[in-house]
Amino acid sequence: MKKVLSTLMVACVALLIQSCGPTQQEAIDYNNKIVDIEKRTEVIMTKFFEDFDPETAGSPEIMKKAIADIGQCKKDLTAIPDIKGGEAFKASGVEMLSAYETFFKTNVQKWVDAMVDPNRTEESLDAAQAEFEKATESVKVIEDKFETTQTEFAKLYGFELK
């Protein structure tokens, strides 16, 4: 009988601890991990646009590195363990990094191709720039969703975003 009561007591304590969920500090740490990866991705993208030179033969390598680095950021974000109430926030972060990855693989690649084309014309550059700007707008929608889910997460755990 004592074993049954003892086992029941341990189970109840474990359930109680688990039902309490993460602390505010754990939520802040979770937020910071996600934001750090998002900032790392911004640095990668900024560096690409700073380093890109259509007259340099190494530009395709810069592009490949940017895509690989964004993919690694996405893997790192996916690897963060979920916490209660943070699933939508993390998922929107993964969605945003996926959008960046796709943006670079398709839209930026088309823009780069147009820029390095020795037969480029003003019309081809204008068309590539228009497609690039259109794609940028669609990425901004996903960035807004990320910010919204982050704000909701912060409200859930009662902390302010800086």
CATH number assigned to the domain comprising residue 102: 1.20.120
9 domain residue, yes or no: no
pTM: 0.82
Interatomic CA distance for residues 124 and 6, integer angstroms: 76
Residue 17 within any structural domain of the chain = no
The reply to whether 151 falls in a domain is yes
Would residue 60 count as lying in a domain?
A: yes
Is residue 37 in some structural domain? yes
Residue 108 lies in a domain: yes
pLDDT, residue 57, reads 65
Render pLDDT for 115-158 as a digit per residue (tens, 0 to 9): 888 898 999 889 988 988 998 999 999 999 999 999 999 999 99
Residue 47's contacts (CB-CB under 8 Å, 6 or more residues apart) are: 66
Number of domains in the chain: 1
Tens-place pLDDT, residues 12-52? 433 343 457 899 999 999 999 999 999 999 999 999 989 88
Over the stretch 58-113, which tens digit does the pLDDT of each residue have?
A: 777 888 999 999 999 999 999 999 999 999 999 999 999 999 999 999 999 888 88
Backbone region of residue 85 per phi and psi (left: phi > 0; alpha: psi in -120 to 50; beta: other values): left
- Is residue 42, in this structure, part of any structural domain at all? yes
**Domain membership flag for residue 76:** yes
Domain that holds residue 38: 24-157
